[in-house]
Amino acid sequence: MPQSSTPKMSARNVNVFYGEKQAIQNVSIDVDTDNVTAFIGPSGCGKSTFLRTLNRMNDTVASARVEGEITLDGENIYSSGMDVVQLRARVGMVFQKPNPFPKSIYDNIAYGPRIHGLASAKADLDVIVESSLRRAGLWDEVKDRLKDSGTALSGGQQQRLCIGRAIAVEPEVILMDEPCSALDPIATAKIEELIHELRGRYAIVIVTHNMQQAARVSQRTAFFHLGTLVEYGSTSEIFTNPREDRTKDYITGRYG
């Protein structure tokens, strides 16, 4: 496993069950802010399940049970004292299908900062809305139509709005679950460019089915197979010189 001096999040011996069925087996991994981490692997191998353990999204699935330890800055996120609403602001998530709120572009961004008490005065909110939309690479396209509905934007713009919405509550980690799978190649390229720009400020973890995308956007790649983490290393090594035969077979298209 690549060493990082300051892992933002660490998972140790994580198992996830849906009822009796085990979906993740004994996964340990560190992610940090300097590197984008890609999760790859065949359908059903547990990438999304594991991603969702990192901000306790699995809590919303009644049958799901998580064992092991996951820390954020050394603090166990599954401890009883953890405020899950706060955790999900610190570890934001962007989903496969863009899911803006049926509200204005402005309110999509302002909603989180309002409920988290990050701004009370309108002028402060305006600053957060502009800076979040700028960081999400959307400001120039929407600055004259902030009152329009977020759902009226194109798919790619909606996804950048969702990234801006995550950014607005000052996250430390952004989890992306196949964020480009519903987008055309141009919108995809914009999101990939954005990921490059956000690297270093946030720890970013992206699940992708697209190996070219993993190679383009990430510096670390984790290959999952049948619920296990087979190999985790620098993206260039995983794609050019994988240690495990299962990784080699997957990246050369032999299965998956």
What residues line the site for ligand ATP (CB under 6 A)?
A: 18, 23, 41, 43-49, 61, 63
State the number of CA atoms in the 13 A half-sphere of 180 facing the CB. 22
Q: Choose between 64 and 72: whose C-beta lies nearer to ligand ATP.
A: 64
Taking the complex as a whole, the smallest distance from the CB of residue 237 to ligand ATP amounts, in Å, to 22
Q: Choose between 35 and 48: whose C-beta lies nearer to ligand ATP.
A: 48
Taking the complex as a whole, the smallest distance from the CB of residue 20 to ligand ATP amounts, in Å, to 10
Q: Choose between 154 and 210: whose C-beta lies nearer to ligand ATP.
A: 210
Taking the complex as a whole, the smallest distance from the CB of residue 41 to ligand ATP amounts, in Å, to 6
Taking the complex as a whole, the smallest distance from the CB of residue 243 to ligand ATP amounts, in Å, to 21
Q: Choose between 27 and 167: whose C-beta lies nearer to ligand ATP.
A: 27
Taking the complex as a whole, the smallest distance from the CB of residue 80 to ligand ATP amounts, in Å, to 24
Taking the complex as a whole, the smallest distance from the CB of residue 21 to ligand ATP amounts, in Å, to 6
Q: Choose between 1 and 61: whose C-beta lies nearer to ligand ATP.
A: 61
27 DSSP β-pair partners:
14
Q: Choose between 132 and 208: whose C-beta lies nearer to ligand ATP.
A: 208
